[in-house]
Each structure stands twice: as C-alpha cells, then as structure tokens.
Chain A
C-alpha cells in the first residue's frame, strides 16, 4: 500500500472494453453496491467494484491478471441494482473477452476470430478449404500409407475415420498448444500480481482443483445468482450435453482403434440401442435444448441477461449448429440406402461436410473464442481457491437501529 503505483491510464483499452459490451462502464461512481449485492463476491477478494475503476482507468495489466473477473458468472444481479446504470456484470464480461484475446497465442488469430468481418473467411472458408484439401490428399496418402478402414460406417466412405481423426487431432493439438501458452501466461500474471501484493497461497493446487471440479459439476456458484436463475439450467444442459458428446466421441475412437488392439471387436458404428449411442443422442438433445434456452434468455431480457456481443452470439450459435447438423447428419445415415447412389446421399454428405466445418470452427478456434472460458474460468477459479479468494469470513450482522425515545413532555 505504501508504494505508490505509477498509473498509466489507457483510454484505448477503455474504448476496447466499451466496444466489447461494457458501454456503460464509465458511468460507475464507485459506490460499491455491486460488490455488496454480489453473492459470489467474498470479503477476502471482493469484486466487481475494483474492476470497474481499473476498467475506467484502462489499467489493462491489472485486469488481465485478475482472477476475480472469472469468478463472475454475469448473472447481472449487480447490473440490475447499479444506481448509476453502469452494468458491472456486462463490463466484467467485456473484460473477460479482452482477457481471452490478450492471453491467446497467437494473439493475432484471437483478434481476427472475434471480428465479424473475418467470420466468412475464418469460420467457413478456411475450414472448408482445409477439409477439401484433406479429401484431395486422401488418395495420395492412402497410396503411401496402408490405412485401413474399420467397420462399414456410412460416412466413412466419404471421409474415412483415419483421415477424420488425423485431421482433427492435428489441428486441435495445435490450437491446444496455443491455449496452454495462454493459460500459462494467465497463471503467471495472476501469481505475479499477488506476489507484488504479498499475498501468499493458502491452499494446495490439487485440493483447489478438487474443490472447483466438484463445484462445477453441480454449478453451485451459478446457483447463487438470484435474478437470473434460468441461466443455470440452460448452462447445465449445454455443459453436460457437450461433455457427454465429448466422452462418447472419445469412446468411439477408442472402440474403433484401441479395442481391436486388445482383441475386442469394434462395435462401431453403434446400434441405435447401444448404450453409447443412447448416451450420444441424449447428449445431443441436452446440448440443443441448453443452447436454445440460452439463446432465448439472451434474446428475452437484455436488462437481466446482459448485453450480448458477437463474442457471445458466435459461440452459442456455433454450439447449437454443431448439435443440429450432427443430428441431421445422423438422421441421413438412417434414411439413406448406402447401396444406391441417390440425391439423398449427396445431401447427406453435404450436411456432414457442413457439420465438419462447424466442428472445426468450434474446436480449433476454442482458445480464441468464448469457448475458452471453460479453461480460463476453471484455471482462475482454481487459482482463486489456491490464493484464498473464496474464504468466506461471514458477513457482519447488521446492528439493529438504535431505539428512539421520546423526550418526556409534561
């Protein structure tokens, strides 16, 4: 505290936050109503009042290495109660976007992915061209390497599994490496900021992870939001939908390639009544319902749900599109007779291709889009436990108002 900090106000960063949905940021007059009403804010590390003034002054370094911005779930309890209409919840969301963009590696890609003018190029043309290139290269590769197709899956004829897995695993590996670089930068930033303030860790990393994972499974922090309670079920559905699909996809890969190695016959493609298939379909439905609920929330009441930017919309629509095109692709698989070449077959391949493009955009751009919140938030929350931010010391009880006594008259 004694060391004076040389402030470098940055009006460009302020403008960047304003453009990303924090348009009312400058209205804040620091009354701290937000920090008081927030159910997630703790006494040991209250927010979002301090973030509001940091953002007003454009103190970029502070904000980017602040784990507290990720402890906010944008329920907007604060925005609704802000006497000045500064919408701290939306400002926090905008700062999170800036945080993802600045930590991401390479940062140029992050900046491009979040600009609407690059959407056609990055979200459609690039994946489509890459996938087309893969299809073109399929023959030459097969000529050199003896890839063997397992089972007789319908779409495998169009896009063989070895190519699919090879293609996506290489690109996602690249993007995850980028993500790891970003997360490491983020962690170091948080640790350095705490060290500068002589704040020592209070809990080991492993117990911190356990706490956060268990709490995320039930979304209990989300449940503390009072005014916009409907966001929790929507998020839970999408969360479990996505994770179920992720697990069955991994299982399918294992079934296809690893099971035969240990001598178990691959069951792929799964029968409709196969537990994994049932799980996959349930997951798909959960994902779609979750996304639809989330979209409805965002469209319904901006005051409560917060201001939605293209950062939010791109992610939620992409997620929904992946679910929907996935189902369409699956339906085609059952209605198309693979023995005959029909128009339906081409339609099925087209939808499958579209689905693959969507999946590429969702997974490969993960570190640069809103999807990155899964990782940044988790890391920040773990760091929050680690550094003692969530220690509840209990709110002081309000003292009863002093009793008023009338002075005796005659």
Chain B
C-alpha cells in the first residue's frame, strides 16, 4: 500500500515534533487514521521520514497548507447514507412546524459536504427562511475550501450515486456548475451557510441548536480525547433538540448518554430529553 509505512511509535514522535516545531496539534486524532493519512501523504510527496516531513512542512507556507488540507479527513460524500436523508426530509417540516424556525449546526464540517447536503434539502423543501445553517470547523483552510464549494469529478460520481438513491431518478447535476474536471456547487446553496472556526476538542459550546450534526467526526477523535467532546455535543443540543451521529457511532462511551433518547437507532438520531 505504501512505500513509506508510518508505525504507531513513529506517529507519537511525529505528533510531538509537529506540535513543537509547526504548531499543528494532531494528538486528538484516532491513531490509526492519523498514521494512514500521514503515511499516505509522505508516500505521495516522497518524504522518507518524520523529521524530513517536519522540514518539508516548514519549508514554506504552501507546504503547510497542503499538509493541513491532507490531514483533515473529508466526510467523504454529499448525501452519505441516502436513507438518512430521506428520513430527515420527512421529519424536518414537522420540526420546523412545531418550532417556527430552527437553527442547525454541523460540527467538524470539514469541506462542507454534510452542511451543503442539508442546504440542498432545505432548498428543496422551500424552508430557507425558517432554517438557519451554521458550519463549525477547526481549521480555517478547510473553511476556505468549504466556501469555495468546488469538488472533484470523482466526488461528483459518489454524490450522483447517493443523490439518485435519496431522490429516486433525480440527478445531482442541477445543483452544480462544471468547471473543467471539477464541479462547483451553485451559490444559492453556499451563501446561506454561516461558518465559525471552532475546535471541538478544546473549545466550549458557543450556543444551543435545534439540530446538531456530528456525523463521522467522533470516529476521528481518539478515545482519550472523546469524553469531553460528548459534553459539548450535549451542551450544543437544545432540550428536545436532535443530535445526529454517524450510522456506526453512538453515545455509549458517554456519560451524557442519559441526557438523550435514541429516536432512530438505524440512523443514530438522538433527542435531548433533559
């Protein structure tokens, strides 16, 4: 798989050096994912050891930016888990009807696939005026990427595949414009999104929200660092509001489990009850 294979022991050394010399903290990452992503990056850039990589990152700001973009995993796809989106499309009008207007927060928004999927769904439902959308992400470089709204052709294929399952027979094409080998999301889906730079591991919750999306984010946070993050998830969720995790994530490692009822086990939708 890799010519350069980063070991767990190398990763610890690298994380220390990276924090000390480059001011980049990766210690909250799940070790396995960090090892694979950094190992893959070293392989692609033909860097032969962890100290060489530190030197490469510090050589110029562009290198640092490139490294930062690479180590923050995307949530991979628009409309990942199409059945969940069908469920949300059915439930959202009911929630809006009962609340009047709602605020939706996407935590660990990365390059925006999840919050933009929500933006498209809200637009389809003609609920734009009633739903406020906020994307929170730790790294400014990812926020910039999100606001650019440009994605690869490869990514488009998975969007198309997911979207045609979410909305049977419909194409994702109507939401994008083509730009060479890439596609750009139309501005009408980007402009409603408010962004906030926020560190899920170290910062406190900055408000309460009716729906909190934190899908496939906890899986990148190591077990040691995860526990305080669950408190933030609880703090962010209004009483009677909803917290949505990835389909293979749950709150079982969390003391705050007791604050939530699971209202949909398959899609890991929780309602805060206290």
Binding between chains A and B: no
